[in-house]
Structure 1
Amino acid sequence: MRPLTIAALALTTAFATPALAQDTAAPAAAAAAAPATGDIEKGRLLTYTCQGCHGVEGYKNAYPNYHVPKIGGQSSVYLVNALTAYQQGTRAHPTMQAQAESFSDQDIADIAAFLSSLSK
């Protein structure tokens, strides 16, 4: 009976230890990888100046004659990705890059939450 007990203990330990190690590491990794949750009200305040270009139907920006897209109702994921790309300089538009450089990750999440909550 003793070899069976030792074998059962060994199997239990072998399967439980990685799970325990994973469980203690997972919260830290998940927190680092998890996107910020947006606050719609804060996003509403942050997007006040966005209306100057994005809120005008058919508006064309002067750099160079660029059609400014309507962003209300756009996907939150798209907005976060676009603002992050402007912030990192991987998406080019001087005005948007200048705007996005001042945003924190939380600001971007808030902006995306508000704009995606609007109807198209």
Structure 2
Amino acid sequence: MRPLMIAACLFLTTAAFAASAQETQAPAAPAAAATPAPTAAKGNADKGRQLTYTCQGCHGVTGYKNAYPNYHVPKIGGQSAEYLANALTEYRKGTRKHPTMQAQSQSFSDQDIADIAAFLSTLK
């Protein structure tokens, strides 16, 4: 088994245990007491460049070889920052399904996602 697959499986297992542990805790406060949703973070392309090192192998970011030449993965360089941020957020929430992308996105904060989207949107 490849190291990335092992890491993804380990991460998904750990995330499942953490999620089940959170479900057994006390319920959240009523919706009326909920805090307003935070505004979208402003991305920093320089920080995003550092965070995209794992994206490069599969997505074929310009200047890098695609590790899976026969496996279709979308080109993400040059996509709009809004689209990229939404996609990563949906993977993190689990509303978009792809085990590797879900595992990758779990480690990103909202600011990390904004930074990644800012960088990738600048690529041609």
Moved >6 Å (runs of 4+)? none
RMSD: 2.0
Name the counterpart of 1:59: 69
Q: Distance in 1 between matches of 2:68 and 2:74?
A: 8
Total equivalences in the alignment: 85
Distance 1:104 1:59 in 2: 30
**Residue 71 of structure 1: aligned partner:** 76
- The change in CA–CA distance for 1:68 and 1:45 in structure 2 (over 3 A counts) is same
Matches within 5 A, 1:35-114: 35-55=40-60, 56=66, 59-61=69-71, 67-114=72-119
Q: TM-score, normalised by structure 2?
A: 0.63
Matched letter for residue 115 of structure 1:
L
What letter is aligned with 1:108?
I
Percent identity of equivalent pairs = 68
Looking at CA atoms only, which structure, 1 or 2, has the larger radius of gyration?
1
Distance in 1 separating the partners of 2:41 and 2:91:
18
| Structure with greater proportional helix content | 1
Quick check: 1:59–1:68 contact (8 Å CA) kept in 2? no
Q: Work out the CA distance in 2 between the residues paired with 1:106 and 1:59.
A: 31
Instruction: Return the letter of the residue paired with 2:84.
Output: L
Counterparts of 2:79 and 2:67 in 1: how far apart (Å)? 15
**Native 8 Å contact 2:57 2:67 kept in 1:** no
**What TM-score results when the alignment is normalised by the length of structure 1?**
0.65
Rounded Cα–Cα distance in structure 2 between residues aligned with 1:75 and 1:57: 24
| Shift, 1:34, TM fit | 1.8
**Cα deviation, residue 109, structure 1:** 0.1
CA offset digits 1:54-78 (Å, max 9, x no partner): 01298344xxxxx101100001010
Task: Work out whether residues 73 and 118 of structure 1, in 8 Å CA contact, stay in contact via their aligned partners in 2.
Answer: yes
Letter in 1 for 2:74: P
Task: Give secondary structure in 1 for the equivalent of 2:85.
Answer: helix
